[in-house]
Amino acid sequence: MLKVQRSRALVATTFVAIAALALTGSAVLAASKTVEINEENGQYSFQPGMTTVTAGDSVMWQNASDAPHTVTSDGAGPLGGDIAADSGSYSFTFETAGSYAYHCNIHPAMQGTVVVEAGTGGGEPTQPPTDMFVPTGSSRDGEAPLPLLLGLSAYALAMFVLATRRLTSARMGRR
């Protein structure tokens, strides 16, 4: 009977760990690009100035300067985010193909464009972007992506629960 309980506990724990990894890893599947806001010689700029993504992808603007900025669509576009100084960020998911010009309301010389290409429509898989595994909430400076950290934490918690159950079962068997 004890072996059956242990087997069930192991199966349940493994299922929970796999489900947690699958759920937290789903953010990794959506492609994202990062546009950095930099200052060089007193001039602020969006780097790169032109970014190309596929419909459904996200763009994150990350502020690496010591001044606040905005990401504002030229005309009546969808962009409208304020970005705090020193590591503030703004993210937007583009669902419709087209060209989206934007600027910073605070620094009008800062301009950029996001070109959104139509999706593949479910045909043959395309080569993923090289920065696909840099989801929002992580950085390229060596930090682990947030979904990976969440998944590993869920796995560690599941293993802790399993170990606790085994210890409790072993103690009860000795009495």
Q: What is the pLDDT of residue 63?
A: 95
Sequence spans of domains, the chain: 2-27+148-174, 31-134
Integer CA distances (angstroms), 145 to 75, 91, 103, 127, 142, in order: 35, 16, 29, 21, 9
Identify whether 78 is preceded by a cis peptide bond (ω within 30 of 0): no
30-74 pLDDT per residue, tens: 568 999 999 988 899 999 999 999 999 999 999 999 999 999 999
Contact residues for 111 (Cβ-Cβ < 8 A; gap 6+): 46, 49, 101, 102, 103, 104
Q: Which portions of the chain are predicted below pLDDT 50?
A: 21, 24-28, 122-144
pLDDT at 154: 77
Count how many Cα atoms sit within 13 Å of the Cα of residue 134 in the half-sphere of its side chain.
15
* CATH top-level class of 31-134: mainly beta
Global pTM value? 0.54
Q: Which helix (H) or strand (E) holds 170?
A: helix 146-174
59: which 2 tokens?
Answer: 């763009």
